[in-house]
Structure 1
Amino acid sequence: MTTVVPTSEEDPALAVVRFTADLSWADAGPEVAEGQLNRLYVEAQECMLQNRWVDLASLMLTSADVVFSKASEKDLECVYTVICDLVKKPESLDQVHEMAELITTKVVQQPNDKPALRLKILFNLYNLLENPYSQFFVYIKALNLAVSGKVTEHVVPSFKKMDNFLREWNIGVKDQRDLFLIVANILKDNKSSAKDSFNFLVKYLETFSGEDSLTVNEAKEEAVRAVIEFVKAPDTFQGDLLELPAIALLEKDAKYAPVYKLLKIFLTERLDAYLEFHSSNSTLLTSYGLVHEDCVAKMRLISLVDLGTIESGQIPYSLIKETLQIEENEVESWIVKAITAKLIDCRIDQMNQVVIVSRCIERVFGLNEWQALRSKLATWRGNVANVISTIQANKIAEDGTQAVQGLTIR
């Protein structure tokens, strides 16, 4: 026997059941429509009385496809706001996640139909959830929906909060891997986001550290893509890509070994090495969309940085001309380009035809660079300790002199 609880105002969930039932059975005639409405209404009441919230959500979602095709966007948003609000009802996190899955699955079924609205519904659902893993699940589904529905511009702003998201979600390596790759793929088609795309791709590759070679091999294509994106990027000159297992694996791969060699040239060698590589691999470079002139320009800047690192702070114009393979009247313009790109800090001594370098970037920062930094810090620490000792000694001497003068006056 069913007990109907009378209320002065219809419960929002029951109102949604009535609304969706009316839309679903409107074409079947009044008698059929009324019968179906009564059946669904009574079933919904039973679910509410018995706290069967998952069943209620499933019941309300049954007519969701019809709602999307017949209702206005305003009504749709209201309907799904009520449905999503049901996730606050169960005490069990498992039930909450099950409801989140039900709602999300229904919303993403037809991503090309009102995709922006569907995305808004998912973000509303996300904000109602308290379980971090359920939030992550909905967020991933929202990203996939944005890609399929071609509305990625609505999700890109959220990428700026990724560090906060990761702390809140506390997800495992596999989930991080999936997330970083999706984000990198979303950003890669936007030229203004190329650097962010590359950074997320590197984050993706970093998740393979410590994995077995079979697992690392799964990232081979993305590793190649990271190398090519690094070489193409006109404003990216440093990175620890060579230390990533997924990229290191390319060195022994028959097909991709030249790609690894190219990366090594851009991170550790000079222009002459690139030109030699190009002479026997020009077709390969073209196949990856690399422009020889752009690569030469980047390698000239990189070679100039390398000279600043090795030549004890002073670089003769003649050496720059020879290394960069340029005319003498081009030397200063390339120095200015390196300064503008914040690759080096230097002073140009035109009279003596030398460049005096005070700072230049490290192209890679591996074990040797950490050891050099440690040595410098130890030296600075010693110098600071000596200065402190000198100051303290002078203070003691000064205090002693003042004490003697005080005794003399008395």
Structure 2
Amino acid sequence: MTTVVPTSEEDPALSVVRFTSELAWSDAGPEVMEQQVSRLCVEAQECMVMNRWLDLTSLMLTSADIVFSNSKVSEKDLECIFTVICNLVTKSRSPDEELEMAKLICAKIIQQPSDKPALRLKILFNLYNLLDNAYCRFYVFMKALTLAVSGKVTEHVIPSFKKIDSFLKEWNLEVQDQRELFLSVANALKDSKSSAKDSFKFLTKYLATFSDEDTYKMGEAKEEAARTIIEFVKAPDMFQCDLLDMPAVGQLEKDAKYALVYQLLKIFLTQRLDAYLEFQAANSALLKSYGLVHEDCIAKMRLMSLVDLASHESGRIPYALIKDTLRIDNDEVELWVVKALTTKLIDCKMDQLNQVVLVSSCTERVFGLRQWQALRTKLGTWRGNIESVINTIQANKITEDSSQAVQGMMIR
């Protein structure tokens, strides 16, 4: 026996069921339509009375495709319909039920990513904000990323990537979920030229989740490790990275497919232009297959080589050495020094009279254990200097206070 709950105004969920079912059966004729609409409304009422919110969600989503494809339904009406459907998650009785409801809604929303993708994305974010369970939020966010990439509306999700660190704290994810998140974000950013650095950042976050103990799992990161290396080499404004210290990257050194890619990374981070030119001569086809432009690589390696000179020549680099190392003409030496200055790779002065570059500081291409130890030593020295200054100031203050006290006694 069916129980009908009397209400002065129809429940929003019931109104949505009535509206969508009328659309679904509109071509079947008035009698059939009325019969089917009544049946679905009764079924919806039963779900509401018995608190079967998962079943109600499934029922309401049945006609979602028809609603999206119907030209008579405006985007505003679509948003209202799915706001009512998404709101059902607030009635769930457990985190598991909430997750199942979220999965049903997401599956329906991302089914046709090219049809009104921006609206579909908005619906998913509305759903996200209604959820209480942290893992449910993570699940919906990941589906939103999938939709954004498939529907080519990544510009709507990119601003949220600035909050990833706070999201991680909120979601409290396992390592495998973190990997999935970092890789998905990197993939969402990879086609945006203005976000190349951010894409690289999330790729390195992904690779950093693998340790030496993850031998079995680490194999799945080979392709992404190679991709990260290529992105670094291609980037005209990235001159430093920690990739060589990562186990996920180190595994490529002896890999049959990616060993040469690893060798290329080592050249860019630890060697000079002559090593790159030798590598390119033997592997030009490989470089082209990865979309690397030889002239761009030369330009980057010249700057990297200049940085290497700055860190190994005791702060004094002869023009002639720069000319030979960078393989340039005499009149190009100062031009490349200026390029290194403007990109903040080195801080220096040019002594044109003596034909030398005087370096006061430079960027480290690799920031590993040796660099951390050097930084620790430098910070220790600074701390000692600051303590010395503070002690001197305090001693002078004590002397000054004593002098003022003596003068006060003399005035009395």
Cross-structure match for 2:78: 76
Q: CA deviation at 1:179?
A: 1.5
Q: Deviations over 1:76-130 (max 9, x none)?
A: 2221111111111123222211111111112222223322222221111111112
Q: Deviations over 1:275-318 (max 9, x none)?
A: 22222222222222212211111111111111111222222212
Per the alignment, do residues 284 and 3 of structure 1 end up closer, same or farther by CA in structure 2, a change over 3 Å counting? closer
Q: CA deviation at 1:69?
A: 2.2
Are positions 1:52 and 2:52 aligned together? yes
Q: Deviations over 1:188-239 (max 9, x none)?
A: 1222222211111111111112442221111111111111111111100001
Cross-structure match for 1:200: 202
Distance across 1 between alignment mates of 2:288 and 2:239: 21
Are positions 1:23 and 2:23 aligned together? yes
Query: Structure 2 matches for 1:127-276, cutoff 5 A?
Result: 127-276=129-278
Per the alignment, do residues 351 and 186 of structure 1 end up closer, same or farther by CA in structure 2, a change over 3 Å counting? same
Distance across 2 between alignment mates of 1:142 and 1:283: 38
Cross-structure match for 1:65: 65
**Unmatched 5+ stretches in structure 1:** none
Cross-structure match for 2:368: 366
Amino acid paired to 1:359: S
Are positions 1:386 and 2:399 aligned together? no
Q: CA deviation at 1:400?
A: 4.1
Distance across 2 between alignment mates of 1:105 and 1:115: 14
The correspondence for 1:300, drawn from 299, 302, 311, is 302
Are positions 1:32 and 2:32 aligned together? yes
The correspondence for 1:118, drawn from 116, 120, 129, is 120
Per the alignment, do residues 405 and 148 of structure 1 end up closer, same or farther by CA in structure 2, a change over 3 Å counting? closer
Range with greater deviation from structure 2 (84-93 or 260-269): 84-93
Amino acid paired to 1:122: L
Range with greater deviation from structure 2 (262-271 or 57-66): 57-66
Per the alignment, do residues 115 and 400 of structure 1 end up closer, same or farther by CA in structure 2, a change over 3 Å counting? closer
Distance across 2 between alignment mates of 1:400 and 1:25: 98
Give 3-state SS (helix, strand or coil) of 1:4's partner. coil
Distance across 2 between alignment mates of 1:394 and 1:11: 80
Q: CA deviation at 1:403?
A: 4.5
Amino acid paired to 1:34: E
Cross-structure match for 1:355: 357
Q: CA deviation at 1:19?
A: 0.7
Are positions 1:285 and 2:287 aligned together? yes
Cα RMSD (Å):
1.8
Per the alignment, do residues 124 and 397 of structure 1 end up closer, same or farther by CA in structure 2, a change over 3 Å counting? closer
Give 3-state SS (helix, strand or coil) of 1:22's partner. helix
Amino acid paired to 1:376: K
Amino acid paired to 1:283: A
Q: Deviations over 1:22-48 (max 9, x none)?
A: 111112222221221121111111211
Give 3-state SS (helix, strand or coil) of 2:349's partner. strand
Cross-structure match for 2:42: 42
Distance across 1 between alignment mates of 2:406 and 2:86: 84
**Unmatched 5+ stretches in structure 2:** none
Q: CA deviation at 1:250?
A: 0.6
Distance across 1 between alignment mates of 2:377 and 2:170: 38
Range with greater deviation from structure 2 (84-93 or 67-76): 67-76
Amino acid paired to 1:15: S
Amino acid paired to 2:119: L
Amino acid paired to 2:318: P
The correspondence for 2:322, drawn from 295, 312, 320, is 320
Give 3-state SS (helix, strand or coil) of 1:371's partner. helix
The correspondence for 1:104, drawn from 103, 106, 110, is 106
**Number of residues of Structure 1 aligned to a counterpart in Structure 2:** 410
TM-score normalised by the chain length of structure 2:
0.94
Cross-structure match for 2:338: 336
Distance across 2 between alignment mates of 1:149 and 1:259: 32
Q: CA deviation at 1:394?
A: 3.4
Percent of counterpart pairs with the same letter? 72
Range with greater deviation from structure 2 (337-346 or 118-127): 118-127
Per the alignment, do residues 394 and 114 of structure 1 end up closer, same or farther by CA in structure 2, a change over 3 Å counting? closer
Range with greater deviation from structure 2 (337-346 or 65-74): 65-74
Q: CA deviation at 1:406?
A: 4.8
Q: CA deviation at 1:408?
A: 5.0
Amino acid paired to 1:252: K
